[in-house]
Each structure stands twice: as structure tokens, then as C-alpha cells.
């Protein structure tokens, strides 16, 4: 069911204009209105899900596969040299639009994204003991029926 107050549902329903770059029965993709690189694309399921947590596996895979194809098209056509593909999941992860979406960010040599620089500045030291505990915790969680 489309959500009346959801901006991406309204884009899917063509109630709000967008620069559509891809559409199929399940998925739509359009240019991000505040791009951090030229050709920054947002890929959404046509059905409303808040995020990763409430999407069914098939809908999630449909969106990811569209992101894969858009990314491939960008690189094959030399529109970009590579891409970053990412999802903000939950407000703590800086999700701001609560309709599941994948960012496809075109990357070009010498662009100003500086992902590695930012990443390196965040790297933490975690002891071997804590790494083992975390691994055990995650294995147990994944064993639950998700």
C-alpha cells in the first residue's frame, strides 16, 4: 500500500516529479535531488517498506539487482569509473527517508568523495578477545529464524 506521507511512494505514483532512470514492475530508480556526485541514483521498491528490517527477501533482492544493473550500465558506458552502493538502515544509520532505498553513487578518479580518508579516520582498535566475543554473538543471532 502506498503511504500518503511517504515522498518515495509519491514519486512511484508520479504525484511528485522525478528524473526517472529505470523502472520495472517492482522497482523504480531516479536521480537524487541532492546529489553528492553527478548521476547519484536512488533505487526504490515500488511497494512501501520502511527499510531493510521490514522488506521481504524478494523485494530486497529486486532492488539490489536493479542497483547492480544501474551500476554496471554506468561503468560500461564510461559514465563512471566505479560506484559505491549503499543503504542507510534506521535513523541511527542516518536514514532520512523511511522508504527502503539504495544509493548508487558514481565514482570518478580524482572526485571529492574521499571515502578512504574518512574510513581510515574511523578505524578502531578492537582486542582479539572482544573480536571473538562479537563473532560468537553474531553467529548466535544469525542462527535465529530471521
Q: Which residues are catalytic?
A: 101
Classify residue 43 by its DSSP letter: E
Site for Zn ion, residues 29 to 68, rule: CB under 5 A: 48
Site for ligand AMP, residues 17 to 36, rule: CB under 6 A: 18, 30, 32-34
- Partner from Zn ion, ligand AMP, none binding residue 94, C-beta < 5-8 Å depending on class: ligand AMP
9 binds Zn ion (CB under 5 A): yes
CA 33 to CA 98: how far, in whole Å? 16
CA 27 to CA 82: how far, in whole Å? 22
140 binds ligand AMP (CB under 6 A): no
**CB closer to Zn ion out of 9 and 105:** 9
Site for ligand AMP, residues 72 to 91, rule: CB under 6 A: 88
Cα–Cα distances in angstroms (integers) from residue 92 to residues 88, 89, 96, 98, in the given order = 9, 8, 10, 12
Amino acid at each position: 500500500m502506498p503511504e500518503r506521507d511517504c515522498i518515495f511512494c509519491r514519486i512511484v505514483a508520479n504525484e511528485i516529479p522525478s528524473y526517472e532512470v529505470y523502472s520495472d514492475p517492482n522497482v523504480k530508480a531516479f536521480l537524487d535531488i541532492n546529489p553528492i556526485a553527478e548521476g547519484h541514483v536512488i533505487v526504490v521498491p515500488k511497494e512501501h517498506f520502511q527499510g531493510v528490517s521490514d522488506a521481504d527477501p524478494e523485494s530486497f533482492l529486486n532492488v539490489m539487482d536493479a542497483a547492480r544493473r544501474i551500476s554496471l550500465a554506468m561503468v560500461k558506458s564510461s559514465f563512471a569509473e566505479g560506484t559505491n552502493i549503499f543503504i542507510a538502515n534506521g535513523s541511527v544509520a542516518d536514514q532520512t527517508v523511511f522508504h527502503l532505498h539504495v544509493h548508487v553513487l558514481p565514482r570518478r578518479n580524482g572526485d571529492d568523495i574521499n571515502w578512504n580518508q574518512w574510513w581510515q579516520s574511523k578505524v578502531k582498535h578492537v582486542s582479539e578477545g572482544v573480536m571473538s566475543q562479537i563473532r560468537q554473538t553474531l553467529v548466535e543471532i544469525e542462527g535465529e529464524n530471521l
